Amino acid sequence: MPNITIRPAAPEDTGLILTFIRALAEYEHMEDQVCATEELLADWIFAKNKAKVNLAFCDGVPAGFTLYCFNFSTFLGRAGIWLEDLFVLPEYRGQGIGLSLMRTLAREAVEGGFGRFEWSCLDWNTSSIEFYKRLGAVAMDEWTTYRLTGEALVKLAEGK
């Protein structure tokens, strides 16, 4: 049985975080969309404190991560956790690392009195979908996620 440890990331882990982000992008066939740099991550995660990261280690070796932030439910009147990324390196999957990472965030949500813990998943990622269902997660099929980025975001901000 491997020794799995989870700890919050520190600024000196920024390079490792970027390595995991690039590996996740490769897994999702989105390598061309990664614009993150160590400088950007250090600024937004550690200097501005706009996101948090947990790192997973298997027998002392980096094996996975979660990157998350907080949202707010007006209906519940309390904050929630938004999981942006969960990733475990392929060679460490099936050993309980993903479960340990998810339990860590669930504990943070419960101990903090948060109202919910949410994330999205690509519809082709059946192994992740099955994993989430085993945790008791429910797909929010009636909701559609919308996104503004790049030029569309700038145009809206400028009133164009």
- Rounded Cα distance, 63 and 113, in Å: 29
- Rounded Cα distance, 83 and 3, in Å: 24
Residue showing tokens 């390598």 = 31
Q: What is the number of alpha carbons within 13 Å of residue 55 lying toward its C-beta?
A: 20
- Rounded Cα distance, 57 and 68, in Å: 18
Which residues form the catalytic set?
132
Of 74, 17, 19, 61, the C-alpha closest to 42 is 17
